[in-house]
Structure 1
Amino acid sequence: MTQQASTMPILPWHAPLWRHVAAGIRDDRVAHGVLIAGTPGVGKRRFARQVVAALLCRSRADDGRACGACAGCRQFAAGTHPDISRLTPEDKGKTIKVAQVRQFSHALHLTPQYETGRVGWIDPADALSISAANSLLKTLEEPPAGCHIVLISDRVSSLLPTIRSRCQLWTVPAADPATAREWLAEQGVDASQEDDDRLRSPLAVIAHQGDEVDQLLAQWDKDLLRLLARRANPVSVAERAYEAERRLWVDWLYRRCNDLMRASLVGQEDDTAQTNLARAAQRLGPRRLEAWSRRVAEVARMVDSNADWRLVVESVFIELSQQVADATQP
């Protein structure tokens, strides 16, 4: 379960449903069994993560969202929260088995470590075999006190009627095309060629374009490693970067800057690419990387300015190149 989405903004087309759900959480009107459904690409898993985060949070915000700062939120973000139990297929595309349901149900009956109670996560609920679904019924009918079980489904009709009837149904709506187009533009996704039907599932649009984004990020990573090894010209590297969507590039730049700083302090990883990054970071050292990180922060603040973006991008790579050169001086 990817936790970072728990503290992300509520998606625009989720807002009406979130207000309803947040009120239920605040007034303790959430059923023990919750079924979160919606067509692929509408963001139901992101919505479900935000629901689970709010249920486990010890100091929720005024809008009902998780605070992101309490001990429970920090553990949730790190994927180490002790009061979450997950039920997923052992192999992708396979069914969830009876034995898995029994282990899941047993875990839900363990004493929670926090007063917020335990949460069960079943994804996708559509993968429950008939026998596994029947095995789950007893837990849904007689759940432990303070426990919530969140089921996620692409096709509610595929679930046993007995499962559906024991859950509070929250259907995540499709996006309005105009809203989706505006939101996608904010994410740096060009949706000008997408028709209205496709735009009703904005996250599917992003997934469709994901391969192209992955290739772009891989090229930037390759350029960065070559620059750190003094095998690339910073102006040439900038040439391949400045035409990209600004926020996407700045997000990548921030993450790589953090990776370098972390590697300079912690050391190498097993992955070859990360090992190369760690070696370069250790050669530079925290002091030089801290100076460069300040420049990265300045660049991020200029993303919506009228500055010459080509020169801005060049400057960040030229400065890094200079830091690398200084670090190699005897």
Structure 2
Amino acid sequence: MTIPVSQWHVNAWQQLQAGRRQQRLPHALLVSGEAGIGKAAFADRLAASLLCEQPREDGQACGTCPACQRLAAQTHPDRLRLEPEEPGKPIKVDMVRQLIQHLSLTGHYGGYRVVTVEPAEMMNTNAANAFLKTLEEPPASTLLILITASPARLPATIRSRCQPMRLTSPDPQTALAWLQQEAPDSAPQEAELALRLAAGAPRLAAHYLREGWLEVRQQLIEALIGCAHGRTDPLAAAATAQEALKLDRQLPIHWMYHWVADLIRLAYDENNIKNNDMTGELQALPTPVEYSALHHLLDKLQQARRLTETTINPQLLWEDLMIDWAGLFSARRV
């Protein structure tokens, strides 16, 4: 049986549908939760429910009425999205002004208008200030859905004017069953690994499998191992990492951060590391390593995750990280 994404958010769904029946829906929702748990899918289902001409008893859209057909074709004029022009870029004030102008007009079908803002924390300061005015004077019959994995990065003035709704991950069995349904060609151990790397977030795990991220991860750790043993030049290892960075601005740095953290954990408990599928590779690195140097590299990786959101040259960023990584082991190779 097909497992809908909304199955693990059923309590949140029922809460909103109860508010709808009582005509007490908020004008703005702040939907938060870890990346990859289905926040956007939840918002899409809610939008479809509100725009559907014949919703089912449980609030789900019928999928067949003219409004649902327009939604499926992405041509419904009352379904609006505010998002960056490119991943990682900010949502700018001009985009918010265009949205405000659109909302000042009467809706096309006399029902709800639904706006999603994702990722909401990517609104720059001017955009957030402009959007705040809409929250303070919301248009009639309009639901604004702000979607974010980092609600603390939103201004407090915006958070305070939205009804918070935090979504959670499904239980491991449900998540794995859904993932195997979404990626039937993946081996069970690959699905389990992807789900663990995604911290239990099934849609993020599906992205890892679909986009070949497990292979990219393996290539990156092999570059790091080669660099540690002196078989790979740090600049060549940086080139491998930079290719991965083109696919995702932060994920390669996120993984390297946890590999370095696992080197520290290995000194205390080898059964408590995040990348337990790579225990052997990590244990085979030249030792001993100064823990102060490992902690220093952790700090640099944490800073690098923030720098990826700026205009920094990724090649220089990775070359600096790889030179530091190689330096950890240069005096300990045999």
Q: TM-score range by the shorter chain?
A: 0.5 to 0.7
- 2:25 pairs with 1:43: no
Structure 1 residue 70, shift from structure 2 partner: 1.6
- 2:125 pairs with 1:130: yes
Whole-angstrom distance in 1 between the partners of 2:166 and 2:58 = 20
- Equivalence for 1:24: 19
Deviations 1:37-93 (A, max 9, x none): 111110111111001111111211111111111221111111000112221122321
- 2:166 pairs with 1:171: yes
Larger CA deviation: 111-120 vs 162-171: 111-120
SS of aligned partner of 1:13? helix
Which runs of structure 2 are paired with 1:99-138 in the superposition (5 Å)? 99-138=94-133
CA contact under 8 A between 2:36 and 2:204: conserved in structure 1? yes
Structure 1 residue 171, shift from structure 2 partner: 1.2
Which runs of structure 2 are paired with 1:242-253 in the superposition (5 Å)? none
Q: Closer, same or farther in 2 for the Cα pair 1:195/1:103, shift >3 Å?
A: closer
- Equivalence for 2:51: 56
- Equivalence for 2:6: 11
Provide the aligned length of Structure 1 versus Structure 2: 208
- Equivalence for 1:210: 210
Q: Closer, same or farther in 2 for the Cα pair 1:22/1:197, shift >3 Å?
A: farther
SS of aligned partner of 1:149? strand
- 2:86 pairs with 1:91: yes
Larger CA deviation: 190-199 vs 32-41: 190-199
- Equivalence for 2:63: 68
Structure 1 residue 153, shift from structure 2 partner: 0.7
**2:175 is matched with which residue: 167, 180, 194?**
180
- 2:146 pairs with 1:151: yes
Whole-angstrom distance in 1 between the partners of 2:43 and 2:195 = 27
Structure 1 residue 165, shift from structure 2 partner: 0.7
CA contact under 8 A between 1:97 and 1:132: conserved in structure 2? yes
Structure 1 residue 25, shift from structure 2 partner: 2.5
Whole-angstrom distance in 1 between the partners of 2:83 and 2:211 = 26
Q: Closer, same or farther in 2 for the Cα pair 1:86/1:198, shift >3 Å?
A: closer
Q: Closer, same or farther in 2 for the Cα pair 1:212/1:94, shift >3 Å?
A: closer
Q: Closer, same or farther in 2 for the Cα pair 1:90/1:134, shift >3 Å?
A: same
CA contact under 8 A between 1:17 and 1:172: conserved in structure 2? yes
Give 5+ residue unaligned stretches, structure 1.
1-6, 216-330
CA contact under 8 A between 1:34 and 1:167: conserved in structure 2? yes
CA contact under 8 A between 2:194 and 2:208: conserved in structure 1? no
SS of aligned partner of 2:211? helix
Q: Closer, same or farther in 2 for the Cα pair 1:110/1:181, shift >3 Å?
A: same
Aligned AA for 2:59? G
Aligned AA for 1:14? H
Whole-angstrom distance in 2 between the partners of 1:25 and 1:122 = 21
Whole-angstrom distance in 2 between the partners of 1:109 and 1:158 = 28
Whole-angstrom distance in 2 between the partners of 1:169 and 1:197 = 27
Which runs of structure 2 are paired with 1:191-270 in the superposition (5 Å)? 191-193=191-193, 198=198, 200-212=200-212
CA contact under 8 A between 1:33 and 1:148: conserved in structure 2? yes
Deviations 1:281-305 (A, max 9, x none): xxxxxxxxxxxxxxxxxxxxxxxxx
Give 5+ residue unaligned stretches, structure 2.
216-334
Normalised TM-score (structure 1): 0.59
